[in-house]
Amino acid sequence: MGWKTLDDMELGGRTVLVRVDINVPVEDGRVTDATRIERIVPTVADILAAGGKPLLLAHFGRPKGKVVPEMSLKPLLPALEGALGRSVGLIDSLETAEQGLNRDADVLLLENIRFYPGEEANDEGLARRLAALGDIYCNDAFSAAHRAHASTEALARLLPACAGRLMQAELSALEAALASPERPVGAVVGGAKVSTKIELLENLVNRLDVLVIGGGMANTFLAALGADMGASLKEPDFYGTAKDILAQADKAGCRVILPVDGLVARAFAEGAAHEVMALGPDAKLAADQMVLDAGPESIAVLQAAFAGLKTLIWNGPMGAFEIAPFDTATVAAAQAAARQTRAGTLISVAGGGDTVAALNQAGVADDFTYISTAGGAFLEWMEGKELPGVAALNNR
């Protein structure tokens, strides 16, 4: 761990620039999901408890370097004050902040940092103006750490820097899952397309003991091995890639698990008539048949594989989980992982939009060791890429 935390910093009497991700959904001027706001509470609370003054830096939407009134952070103030239990003062511009910080509010919030073209350009001039406002930099926005922006990368190099509590939890969970995991370690990688997860799969097969491939991705792998997958979602242009990944896994000693049976239907619709069919290199589906979920034998194979793991990383559903009954495999596998986690025999880390939705649907989100809401940053970390916002914190 090359990065510092709030525990390593002297915060008393200091202004702490805190990069947060509070890019939450807003409808009719009201926040409809405050999850991201709630997740920054421990960091802000700890800074205040130590006698520090938090100045929050955040983005909202994509204003592309221009002031867009509809993308102001002002509608977020009631939700912020409610979550923090503190008064929050909005600073309407960087120019206003430079004239002097309002000390009346407990917490300060600078207006949308993406109103400045220098933000997404990672402009050092903008970073220096921000640095002049405070004494310490704290990054609590792992979800924005894969972007080299002025408030995530350049600013971190100009002040004593540390990770906030959410960033700390995220990095600790991911390092435990991939950098130095308890073995055997496995991963579930599902979703629609192989093409969006090539780098992820190529990185994982060299790090894992077991790789479970599900969802539409599995159809591409099965077709590459010779199966006629009928009307199932698949990517013929990536059959060669699928074979290469299987060969890499074999060379690295990583066991790849593909569905051995599936729920096959002729319509992509809730409650569609379906049957269980055996899958494998010899499978032959009719031209109008499609696999929409893994079958009962596949579920049993997954549960047995999970039982032998100490660490599990999860990204993507096993089937068309949005429509019943094609959520069966995702729910059953998630519940199996949750049982082992509750029993203390498995470290389970999950991330990605569909993944979070699927685990919520299975009713097990609270049972996993850690669930990341970071999206792109979570995926890039799993792909083995260096994240600029994390690298800038190292050895500071």
The Cα–Cα gap between 113 and 22 comes to: 12
d(CA 190, CA 315): 6
Place of tokens 């792909």: 383
d(CA 125, CA 155): 10
Do both 63 and 205 map to the same domain? no
Q: What pLDDT is stored for residue 1 in this prediction?
A: 58
266 and 161 within one domain: no
Same domain, yes or no, for 146 and 223? no
CATH number of the domain bearing residue 208 = 3.40.50.1260
Residue 1 lies inside a defined structural domain of this protein: no
**What pLDDT, in 10s, does the model give residues 241-290?**
999 999 999 999 999 999 999 999 999 999 999 999 999 999 999 999 99
177 or 40: which carries more pLDDT confidence?
Answer: 40
Let me know: does 259 contact 311? Beta carbons within 8 Å: no
- Asked if residue 341 and residue 212 are part of one domain, the reply reads yes
- Residue 394 belongs to a domain: no
The pLDDT of residue 94 is 95
State residue 382's pLDDT score.
83
- Of 248, 387, 263, 390, nearest to 318 (Cα)? 263
Pairing, β 290-294 against β 261-265: antiparallel
What element of type H or E holds 394?
Answer: none
User: Global pTM?
Assistant: 0.84
Q: Is 138 a member of any domain? A: yes
As for how many domains the chain has, the answer is 2
Q: Taking residues 104-116, what's their average pLDDT?
A: 96
Domain closes at, from 168, 189, 211: 168
192 and 141 in one domain? no
CA-closest candidate to residue 58, choices 152, 129, 154? 152
Does 173 map to a domain?
no
Look at residue 29 and tell me if it is in a domain: yes
Does the structure show a pLDDT above 80 at 364? yes
Same domain, 10 and 116: yes
> Environment class of residue 80 by beta-carbon count within 10 Å: exposed (0-12), middle (13-18) or buried (19+)?
buried
Average pLDDT of 74-97? 96
pLDDT at 396 exceeding the cut of 80: no
Residues 6+ apart with CB under 8 A from 155: 17, 19, 127, 130, 131, 137
Does residue 387 fall inside a structural domain? no
What pLDDT is recorded for position 173? 87
Q: Which of 127, 145, 168 is the last residue of a domain?
A: 168
Percent of the chain clearing pLDDT 90 (strictly above) = 83
Specify whether 163 is located in the same domain as 185.
no
Active site residues: 36, 193, 353, 376
Residue-level pLDDT at 375: 77
Average pLDDT over residues 15-31: 94
251 and 364 co-located in one domain: yes
Residues facing residue 263 across a β-bridge = 276, 293
Asked if the model's pLDDT at residue 163 lies above 80, the reply is: yes
- 305-335 tens-digit pLDDT: 999 999 999 999 999 999 999 999 999 999 9
Q: Last residue of some domain: 124, 139, 168?
A: 168
Mean pLDDT of the chain: 94
Residues linked to residue 318 through DSSP beta bridges, in sequence order: none
Please report the beta strands in the chain, taking only residues with DSSP state E, as ranges in sequence order: 15-19, 26-27, 30-31, 53-57, 88-91, 107-110, 136-139, 161-163, 185-189, 210-213, 255-257, 261-265, 274-278, 290-294, 311-315, 347-351, 370-372
Q: Is residue 373 part of a domain?
A: yes
Residues 300, 191 within the same domain: yes
Both 58 and 130 in one domain: the answer is yes
* Shared domain check, 149 and 225: no
Whether residue 82 is contained in a domain is answered as yes
CA 205, CA 28: separation in Å to the nearest integer? 46
Q: What is the domain extent for residue 225?
A: 181-382
* Domain identity same for 138 and 216: no
